């Protein structure tokens, strides 16, 4: 019997990171592990603290409390240029008066590397990002996607152990973003380096990540693989921020063996449940569109309030009083029609109410 593949070692470890700006807390005790060769995403709404974490990893901010290590060695007090960490900024920050090759060579030039080594490594790095044919162009002659690849090349030429990316795709149109997501993931796998990516876009996080850390109000609420976070969100906030669907508030009446009986707006149901839920706890029932279907024999009668074409199917908004659900359908039902609704309860999930 073949042995299971060895899990990647933890490259970066942060414990209890605290950051305040004046009296305003920005990070409230962040614990974070980043594995070697992983694509890790910090995901959350604007102002949640994810960029502050990235700046602390890069050495541009110092935490007020906590520890941070790279390969077991503390990074506290180590300036950015002495860390094996590089950053790709949202603006790309290319020098307009330098060619593509000169921009990429700049970090090596600062280190006074030998010119023959610089030329070789610049050519090698530009090939890695598929920009070798543009070496003599200036940034203003490049598209947004090409500028992003040059910024990546400049960041990776020094062979950092960790590459930090602060929403580098946010300024691009949807088609270019999708194209560069594929290229970025392929590049990370070719380089076998740890990438840490900041975004508020859950689709982007799902497309790119081995591990996602969902943040809100200066805390990491859940860490895990994209599939795990989608299917088993840690609380109502994570459930509402990740994916589409409904998060219905209610209370647990009984919990046992990884399941809970939930009393909510659609009555009593029993479904898979988050750990540590107990009778009497406030909770949330998570229903994704794939858990709900239109069915004349369904147990619930609901009114269609909207039907939106989403490419291959229609996403239907359904209403029963104040309760709102979503379902996918091959054909759009008439708006205002009353339809039968069936719920695949075994695939739904009962989780904790959102923390105050």
* Separation of alpha carbons 181 and 175, rounded Å: 10
Task: Give the start-end residues of each E strand in the chain.
Answer: 10-21, 24-35, 39-43, 65-70, 73-74, 85-88, 162-166, 194-199, 211-216, 219-224, 246-256, 259-264, 267-272, 282-287, 292-294, 300-309, 314-320, 323-329, 338-343, 349-352
Quick one: pLDDT at residue 6? 58
CA separation (Å) from 17 to 25, 40, 76, 280?
A: 11, 18, 11, 33
The tokens of 206 are what?
């799902």
pLDDT of residue 113: 60
d(C-alpha 332, C-alpha 319), whole Å: 15
Query: What pLDDT shows up at residue 165?
Result: 92
CATH H-level, domain 10-231: superfamily: P-loop containing nucleotide triphosphate hydrolases (3.40.50.300)
Residue 186: both structure tokens together? 């392929």
Q: What is the reported pTM?
A: 0.88
pLDDT one-digit tens code per residue, 257-315: 999 999 999 999 999 999 999 999 999 999 999 999 999 999 999 999 999 998 888 99
CATH architecture of 236-352: Beta Barrel (2.40)
End-to-end CA distance of the chain: 49
C-alpha span between 263 and 250 (Å, rounded): 6
C-alpha span between 238 and 104 (Å, rounded) = 39
- Contact assessment for residue 86 and residue 158, using Cβ atoms and an 8 Å cutoff: yes
Residue spans of the chain under pLDDT 70: 1-8, 112-116, 171
Whole-number Å distance between alpha carbons of 132 and 268 = 62
Question: Domain-by-domain residue ranges, the chain?
Answer: 10-231, 236-352
Task: Say how far apart CA 142 and CA 124 lie, in whole Å.
Answer: 20
Q: How far is CA 85 from CA 67, 88, 137, 156, in A?
A: 17, 10, 27, 9
């Amino acid at each position: 019997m073949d042995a299971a593949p060895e899990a990647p070692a933890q490259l970066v470890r942060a414990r209890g990171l605290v950051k305040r700006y004046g009296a305003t807390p920005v990070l409230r005790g962040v614990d974070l592990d980043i594995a070697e060769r992983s694509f890790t995403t910090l995901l959350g709404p604007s102002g949640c603290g994810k960029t502050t974490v990235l700046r602390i990893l890069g050495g541009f901010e110092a935490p007020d409390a906590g520890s941070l290590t790279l390969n077991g060695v503390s990074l506290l007090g180590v300036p950015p240029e002495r860390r094996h960490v590089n950053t790709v900024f949202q603006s790309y920050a290319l020098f307009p008066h330098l060619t593509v090759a000169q921009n990429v060579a700049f970090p090596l030039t600062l280190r006074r590397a030998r010119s023959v080594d610089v030329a070789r490594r610049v050519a090698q790095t530009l090939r890695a990002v598929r920009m070798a044919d543009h070496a003599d162009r200036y940034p203003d002659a490049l598209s947004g996607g090409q500028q992003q690849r040059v910024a990546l090349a400049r960041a990776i030429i020094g062979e950092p152990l960790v590459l930090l990316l602060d929403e580098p795709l946010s300024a691009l149109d949807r088609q270019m973003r999708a194209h560069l997501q594929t290229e970025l993931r392929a590049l990370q796998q070719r380089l076998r380096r740890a990438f840490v990516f900041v975004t508020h876009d859950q689709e982007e996080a799902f497309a790119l990540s081995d591990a996602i850390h969902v943040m809100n109000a200066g805390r990491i609420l859940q860490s895990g693989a994209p599939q795990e976070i989608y299917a088993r969100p840690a609380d109502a906030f994570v459930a509402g921020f990740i994916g589409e669907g409904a998060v219905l508030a209610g209370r647990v009446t009984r919990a046992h063996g990884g399941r809970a009986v939930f009393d909510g707006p659609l009555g009593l149901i029993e479904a898979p449940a988050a750990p540590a839920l107990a009778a009497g706890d406030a909770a949330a029932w998570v229903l994704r569109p794939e858990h709900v279907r239109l069915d004349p024999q369904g147990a619930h009668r609901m009114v269609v309030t909207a039907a939106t074409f989403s490419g291959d199917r229609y996403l239907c908004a359904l209403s029963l009083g104040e309760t709102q659900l979503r379902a996918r359908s091959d054909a759009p039902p008439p708006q205002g029609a009353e339809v039968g609704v069936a719920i695949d309860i075994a695939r739904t999930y009962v989780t904790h109410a959102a923390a105050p």
